[in-house]
Structure 1
Amino acid sequence: MTTADPQFEGVYGPYTITEVDRNEVQRYRLALLSTGLALLAGILHCWLLGARWAWVWILPIGTGLGLALLWIHIYLRPLHRALQLFWLTGCLGWGTLLISAGPPHALLTLADQRLWILAIGPLFAALAGIGFKEFFCFQRLEAIGLTLLLPVALLGQLVGLINPHVCLALMAVAAALLVVIALRKFGMDAAADVGDKSVFAYLDGQLSARTS
């Protein structure tokens, strides 16, 4: 912390936004943007070039989302850990699908054998969770769109209410909304993404008191 770091009055006392906080926010925004761009690129790849090699986009999607969940600021640590667990479970599901079906056939297998959605779905549940967090904090319509479209697309495909083409179209809209969310965040002050650090300190104190 330096004397130039801005100070704020929180619910439970004063707090400071440090250079470390600002760096984490910048990294979070970049990770979120890369996730949205990779998801959109993967879907466009499926449409324009076919599904055979579109699986490669899962790598930057998973990496970007994992980094976003590393640098995101969420007051409730159990919720933060739950989103990270969803991400890990989804990554393991994708890995299992790629090994089982073979990378060139993975997405076609996913379309033909809908139960695989249960394996890879948690990755997108984590992404929808970020969308909900962004809506809860900033009330952006694109955030609630992201939160709703991902489960509608995947669950609709899982139960057979929509076909894979409609599922991809809904996910493309969700990816575009994620890109919009990320781009709009770059014009915001870092303090908006960090939130009230006094709440973090209070919750950590409560946790320490319970475990001591």
Structure 2
Amino acid sequence: MADPEFEGVYGRYTINTTDRQEVSRYRQALLVCGLSMSACLLQWWQFGAQWAWIWLVPLSVALGLALRWIHIYLRPLHRTLQALWALGCVGWGVLLLTSGPTQALDTLRNQPLWILPVGPLFAALTGIGFKEFFCFQRAEAIGLTLLLPLALLGHLLGLINPEVSAAMLTMAALLLVVLALRKFGMEAAADVGDKSVFAYLDGQLPAGTP
């Protein structure tokens, strides 16, 4: 079967097998992010922080992979989100080493300044939420985009208590699950975007291309 062909802003392009595989992997990674974050927060709430930190591993790995396979026209923005993810992973590593894995989440709750080093990871996730809302105007995407920074900054600045912050983060995580699940019913072309724009921005098409 021939690859589907589309008319882009700067010419025709096709969605090939590699594109479809990347989109599928992106959606799966996004779902793992949502499930891991939800599991972490729910386990922390129900059973305490001692082992809830383990969910940070699949969350961080899946987010990194999602940022590997996401399609964003602006390369600098894409690189910025990846840099935020890397900084956040380093921040979590420092927190886990400093406080010990079993105490890390409680330390984060009791010492809000730790949000500064670990926050970039969630900033990267917020960036994905914004991209999804900008492209598809999904309610769950804007909910994710607003709830994550409000919960973390509110706790950092002492404007909301830890319980409210945790509830907001849990809601954001569940919205991420909804967002990811709804994407599985979409055509791959929707997530890939206009490949002629990518080619133009990468300099593969001449500047005078209409």
TM-score (norm 1): 0.95
Q: Which secondary structure does the structure 1 equivalent of 2:203 belong to?
A: helix
**Structure 1 equivalent of residue 81 of structure 2:** 83
Cα displacement (A) at 1:207: 10
**Structure 2 equivalent of residue 129 of structure 1:** 127
Q: Is the 8 A contact 2:4 2:14 kept in 1?
A: yes
**Structure 1 equivalent of residue 44 of structure 2:** 46
The verdict on how the C-alpha distance between 1:208 and 1:99 changes in structure 2, with shifts beyond 3 A counting, is: farther
Cα displacement (A) at 1:90: 0.2
Distance 2:104 2:17 in 1: 43
**Structure 2 equivalent of residue 29 of structure 1:** 27
The within-5 A match list for 1:63-78 is 63-78=61-76
TM-score (norm 2): 0.96
**Structure 2 equivalent of residue 157 of structure 1:** 155
The aligned amino acid for 1:36 is G
**Structure 1 equivalent of residue 106 of structure 2:** 108
Distance 1:171 1:59 in 2: 17
Kindly provide the CA deviation profile for residues 68-95 of structure 1, in whole angstroms up to 9, marking residues without a partner as x.
0000000000000000000000000000
Distance 1:117 1:143 in 2: 22
Distance 1:81 1:155 in 2: 23
Query: Percent identity among equivalent residues?
Result: 70
Cα displacement (A) at 1:168: 0.8
The verdict on how the C-alpha distance between 1:207 and 1:115 changes in structure 2, with shifts beyond 3 A counting, is: farther
Cα displacement (A) at 1:102: 0.7
Q: Is the 8 A contact 2:113 2:156 kept in 1?
A: yes
The verdict on how the C-alpha distance between 1:207 and 1:119 changes in structure 2, with shifts beyond 3 A counting, is: farther
Coordinate RMSD, CA, aligned:
1.4
Distance 1:59 1:48 in 2: 20
The aligned amino acid for 2:17 is E
Distance 2:33 2:50 in 1: 21
Distance 1:208 1:102 in 2: 54
Residues 1:59 and 2:52 aligned together? no
